Chains A and B, each alone.
Chain A
């Protein structure tokens, strides 16, 4: 899986839009970008996945520029419950039975 780089931590106030950027300079042609969320003392949870341009679901949006060397997870109008660690992973869509390797992640803290 391609190596990823994210900010270690971010703070934001409630109601703001939060954007977390992930760099993946060595992304391969068949790689997808996937984001997971992890709350304290819980396992990670899938948030969103994309290949190019923009993907949106009920939780977040994912913006991917044309060169795909980075991606931005956008969380609209965050609340306290969005305080968590967010991980960016890059790899083949199917992943096969390939093991998921997590980077450092971004610790997002929402301030009241």
Chain B
């Protein structure tokens, strides 16, 4: 089946630095990808919709200048957390739609970001 590859799986960075997370669709093209954030014991919260070749659409309350999204090709979307702070520590998950129906949505394995 369709696979979404997400890297890195874990990253630790110092406060004030930036971190880039990659989300790749393998064997299929994704014009749209989604980025979620999940805090411990909480549900997934949609952060933004990544659109190939155009600007991302951010959910209310998500700072677009802090969470930079680039979707430069049909198989790659990146999320850059800029000037990271400890409160940005979270589990970030990307998703892409490989086919019709809800089962067409495939999720990456997630990235655990820890800001120290």
Interface residues of A (CB under 8 A from B): 32, 34, 38, 41-46, 49, 87, 89, 91, 93-95, 97, 99-105, 107
Instruction: Name the prevailing secondary structure of the A interface residues.
Output: loop
1/0 per position for B71-110, CB-CB distance to A under 8 A? 0000000000000000000010111010011111101111
Partner of B32, one of A94, A97, A104: A97
The answer to whether B102 and A95 touch across the interface, beta carbons within 8 angstroms, is yes
The answer to whether B110 and A49 touch across the interface, beta carbons within 8 angstroms, is no
A87 to B44: give the CA distance in the assembly, Å: 10
B interface, size bucket: 20 to 34
Chain A residue nearest to B101 in the complex (CB): A93
The answer to whether A100 and B101 touch across the interface, beta carbons within 8 angstroms, is no
Q: How far is the CB of B85 from chain A (nearest CB, A)?
A: 22
The answer to whether B43 and A102 touch across the interface, beta carbons within 8 angstroms, is yes
A31 to B46: give the CA distance in the assembly, Å: 20
The answer to whether B91 and A91 touch across the interface, beta carbons within 8 angstroms, is no
Q: Does B34 contact A (CB under 8 A)?
A: yes
Instruction: Name the prevailing secondary structure of the B interface residues.
Output: strand
Of A32, A43, A101, the most chain B CB neighbours within 10 A belong to A43
Report if A93-B91 is in contact (Cβ < 8 Å); known contacts: A43-B108, A44-B44, A103-B43.
no
Given A87-B43, A100-B46, output 20 extra A-B contacts at Cβ < 8 Å.
A32-B101, A34-B103, A41-B110, A41-B112, A42-B109, A42-B110, A43-B4, A43-B107, A43-B108, A43-B110, A44-B44, A44-B107, A46-B103, A94-B101, A97-B32, A99-B34, A99-B46, A100-B102, A102-B44, A107-B41
The answer to whether A49 and B102 touch across the interface, beta carbons within 8 angstroms, is yes
